[in-house]
Amino acid sequence: MIYKKYKLRSLIPEFNLLIMKKLPGLILILLCMVQSSLIAQDKLNLKYGKITPADFDLSKYKFDTSVNAVVIADVGESDFEGNTKSGISLSFKKHARIKILNKNGFEAANQYILLYFSNKSEEKLINLKGTTYNLENGKVVETELDKKSVFKEKYDKNHMIVRFTLPALTEGSIIEFSYTQTSDFIHNLQPWEFQGKYPVLWSQYEATIPDFYNYVFLSQGTVKLDHTTSTSRKEFRISNSSSTTSSGFFTVPANTVAHKWIAQNCPALKTESFTTSIQNHISKIEFQLSQVRYPDQPVQDVMGNWEKMAAELMKSEHFGSGIEKSNGWLDDELRPVVQNGGDKLDKAKKIYAYVRDKFTCNGKRGIYMSESLRTINKNKSGYVADVNMLLIAMLKQQDIEAYPIILSTRGHGFTHEFYPLIDRFNYVICAAKVGDDIYFLDASDPTLGFNKLSSECYNGHARLILPNVAQALYFNSDSLIEKKLTSVFIRSSTPGELEGHFSSNLGYYESIATRTDIKSKGESSFFKSLQTRYTGDISLSKEKVDMLTELEKPVKVEYDFVMKQDDEMIYFNPMMNEGYKGNYFKSAERFYPVEMPYRLDETYIFSLEIPQDYSLEELPKSARVNLGDGDGSFEYMIDKSGETVRLRSRVKLNRTTFMPEEYNDLREFFSYIVKKHAEPIVLKKKK
């Protein structure tokens, strides 16, 4: 971990401040609007242990009563203090009170605190206390947290995690806990989330910041915040334990700004279908140390810029230094791979296929390599960054331009376009330039074809890393379209039976899932699973799957089938198993955007020759429905010509992201499709 030391030359000869990289995993979006004026509100009166029987009655508050718990109050405070190490430390205090509404809410009593450490320095947790309150015979009964129930364990190479669970839980319990977290890592000015899994009646956060630290405030979400500030003068009393002077103390004066944010009645934010990461949408505020401005010192730019970040990455032995060197030792490895010549594009395809098929990926684990290129090549395995950085080195060794791209996968959250926050990135892919064309490659995924990426990579802003240049790229989900064409033809040559042929050219990402399924279970199991999805007596034959090994192309599935149908009335769904069975969007409302992984274009063609001993009794009606102004469309065209029924259904979605105010229209659009796809053709047996 990189650290820097800053000294106050004139005022504090031995004033050293350790600056560490900020705690990873926090997701950000640039500042949302906050109110500058105070709204009318009740005063928060939260004192630890002051619980009365009246506090158990929350009927006067409005919140979603279907939830399992409700946060009565969540209060945090961050401040800076002089320490005994010739510097300044952070102090963060948290106090929370939660009511358990039912047994499913017991998990709210499971709490954890993440503590950062590096070398011999670590964050400390002090004054932890917790209490469970139960109302018994009109009296409040308290049960204290047993210190033996607090567990500390290593989380990763730079974090410890403290876990505890509040005791004596019953439905209706109120739990309360508080603690103080001290830190010498000034980068770790604690963020604050104003909402989460449960409704929050009152959320409050205060941060008092001295003027020699400049933080960028990063805020997101739709919850209305009251933001007030006040300024004051403060003297930081600092001790130097190694000083030979009589006192060993000195003071540093500074102007401070106290920020206070208050939010009330914050709704719970649950993970809904088609969400990149819920962390992208939770209302919260974060802080990024930008500059240190000590008296009589030059301004220290801590955050840096994209160019500086690119230069540091390319010099790092865990990222770019290996691919910048001559890697002649790869020649023997590559000779049999690229033999028989071919142009650069042909070589690039062969090298990509070799790495993809011969190397095993052990997981993601961020943007840095875990081993040297030689070790990765020897082991024939590694993490995503290991595999793709080796791919880049091999391409470069064959005189093919290749560069790393860092990005954040959809489940990890958004990156930031303006600030070079390296912890926001968790994935590395390869950009290969052949002629005027650039190809994006990910050899860590054995299911991907050349110039194909997982839909998880399409999460917006990314950076192509060159020496001294970090070029912005955008992998937008709107650039992906999942096209599918299915046709079903049915006739009746034998009384009591319907004979048909099914053929489907799958979309690319459905093809990936199909290849994975067949590789895992085999073709026989795959088709057996298809058969079980049908209702009634049906048998499949002449099953066939094409393009299983052609990873750049979609898979084609075909089979013949025979269905037994001999009832007086036949209710036959012409969509077979291809119709929409349920609405993706079940919630009545949504508080954040719908984020689909790709656009849709699904066409279904159906033809039925009416059996000679049946007549058509009922036929669904044709319909056309548009979503918004060209955002999507649904076509359901059905008719009878002679003794043949023909249907053409097409579902198109022309963009992937829909804002909360568009949610109801999107929900109704898919609801209509589900309803229409369920309508049967009715056949009646002739007498």
Question: In the chain, which segments carry CATH 2.60.120.1130?
Answer: 481-685
State the pLDDT at residue 266.
94
Q: Which of 134, 156, 151 is nearest to 143 (CA)?
A: 134
State the pLDDT at residue 37.
28
Q: Rounded to 5 degrees, what are φ and ψ at 377?
A: -65, -40
627 neighbors 669 (Cβ within 8 angstroms): yes
Q: Kindly state the percentage of the chain with pLDDT values over 90.
A: 80
The whole-number average pLDDT for the span 34-41 is 32
432 neighbors 464 (Cβ within 8 angstroms): no
Is 80 exceeded by the pLDDT of residue 536?
Answer: yes
Q: Which of 137, 146, 144 is nearest to 176 (CA)?
A: 144
628 neighbors 665 (Cβ within 8 angstroms): yes
Q: Dump pLDDT digits (tens) for 538-559.
A: 999 999 999 999 999 999 999 9
Q: Dump pLDDT digits (tens) for 367-394.
A: 999 999 999 999 999 999 999 999 999 9
Q: Dump pLDDT digits (tens) for 192-231.
A: 999 999 999 999 999 999 998 999 999 999 999 999 999 9
pLDDT band at 34 (very low <50, low <70, confident <90, very high): very low
pLDDT band at 241 (very low <50, low <70, confident <90, very high): low
In 3-state terms, what secondary structure has residue 112? strand
pLDDT band at 247 (very low <50, low <70, confident <90, very high): low
Q: Can you read off the two tokens belonging to residue 438?
A: 């650039």
**Count of all residues that appear for the chain in the document:** 687
Alpha carbons within 13 A on the beta-carbon side of 399? 4
Question: In the chain, which segments carry CATH 3.10.620.30?
Answer: 306-475
Question: In the chain, which segments carry CATH 2.60.40.3140?
Answer: 53-301
The whole-number average pLDDT for the span 665-686 is 97
CA distance linking residue 293 with residue 44, whole number of Å: 35
> Domain 53-301, CATH 2.60.40.3140 — does that match?
yes
Fold of domain 306-475: C8orf32 fold (3.10.620)
Fold of domain 481-685: Jelly Rolls (2.60.120)
pLDDT band at 30 (very low <50, low <70, confident <90, very high): very low
CA distance linking residue 480 with residue 213, whole number of Å: 43
Residue 496 zone, left/alpha/beta (φ > 0; ψ -120 to 50; rest): left
Is 90 exceeded by the pLDDT of residue 643?
Answer: yes
